[in-house]
Amino acid sequence: MKKKTIKTVENWIRKGKGKGEGSNYIPFIRVRDFGSRGRSSKPMGLITGRTHQLFSDNEYNHLIWYEYNRFDDIREQYPLLPHIETQDIARLLSVKHPVYPGTNIPIVMTSDIVLTKVKRESKSIQVVSIKYYDEIDPDNSKNARTLEKLKIEEIYWNLRKIKWTLSTERDLPLTKIKNLDAFRHTLLASELNWLIPYLPIFSKAFMKLWNDSRSLNNLLNNIAAVIDLDLDYVFNLFGRSIWLNLIPVDLDYKIKHESPVKLSGQVWTS
């Protein structure tokens, strides 16, 4: 990895990194620019229609949760510009501003996720810094530096009167997210969008044929026969219906093909 220079940073800003919205947004940093904890990934966004630059499984899980909750825009690796402001904040806090490795050049700090919600004609923005809990556990003295940098970020957004929150894996419904992740690809399969008119037909058949002793495989096979569609297509409809909340599947229980699907509000006796 090449050392960063002032010219490098100036080029990034001049090229429009950290600007734009939706599909036109350009993350300030990419997974290839720095190392990451866990598995970095570049998933296609369901909301944005662009490739996201995520530095950990934790960030990926947060992306899934925000997509499911239908935020209107999700921007990751968002720069705190002008970066002289974060340097000023660091001085006020009497803490060292982070620098690029092997240099004395102040880093352009970034926020992990910036969420946008549009209601009627108003737009609200919320910023989320994503960490693993063991990175911010106040009982661990090794985390002091991380907490200092988070304080700089928090003050930066507070000065703009924008809500900033710190989120860890403990703040996520991980079972729900694992279920959603298992079916996320069904929405990405744009070549199967011709199935969209079948969604209400599928959801009606699902509720009619479901019972608490029928396995998911058996249920989907029966639905395939009733609506006269290939099983692979019915599987796609099942995944889309979950993401679009067209069927009341309880996502707090792991979905298994060989087991019955639990519905929300259902008394589970097995």
* 132: CATH: 3.40.1350.10
17, 115: one domain:
yes
SS3 per-residue string spanning the chain: CCCCCHHHHHHHHHCCCCCCCHHHCCCCCCCCCCCCCCCCECCECCCCCCECCECCHHHHHHHHHHHHCCCCEEEEEEECCCCHHHHHHHHHHCCCCCECCCCCCECCCEEEEEEEEEECCEEEEEEEEECCHHHHCCCCHHHHHHHHHHHHHHHHHHHCCCEEEEECHHHCCHHHHHHHHHHCHHHHCHHHHHHHHHHHHHHHHHHHHCCCCCEHHHHHHHHHHHHCCCHHHHHHHHHHHHHCCCCCECCCCCCCCCCECCECCCCCCC
Residue 45 counted as domain residue: yes
Structural domain tally of the chain?
Answer: 2
pLDDT at 1: 57
**Tens place of pLDDT for every residue, the chain, 270 residues?**
567 788 888 888 999 999 999 999 999 998 887 655 558 999 999 999 999 999 999 999 999 999 999 999 999 999 999 999 999 999 999 999 999 988 999 999 999 999 999 998 899 999 999 999 999 999 999 999 999 999 999 999 999 999 999 999 999 999 999 999 999 999 999 999 999 999 999 999 999 999 999 999 999 999 999 999 999 999 999 999 999 999 999 999 999 999 999 999 765 444
pLDDT at 38: 56
Q: How many residues does the chain have?
A: 270
Report the predicted TM-score, pTM, of the whole model to 2 decimal places: 0.93
238, 150: one domain:
no
pLDDT at 35: 54
46, 82: one domain:
yes
Residue 178 counted as domain residue: no
25, 152: one domain:
yes
Q: Of 171, 197, 212, which residue is a domain's last?
A: 171
153, 22: one domain:
yes
pLDDT at 39: 81
Residue 160 counted as domain residue: yes
100, 202: one domain:
no
Residue 221 counted as domain residue: yes
165, 196: one domain:
no
200, 161: one domain:
no
CB 22 within 8 A of CB 116: no
pLDDT at 270: 42
What distance in Å separates the CA atoms of residue 13 and residue 79, rounded to the nearest whole number? Answer: 9
* Phi and psi, residue 265, nearest 5°: 85, -5
- Name the residue among 215, 78, 89 with its Cα closest to residue 156: 89
Residue type, 40: S
- Structural domain of 225: 185-243
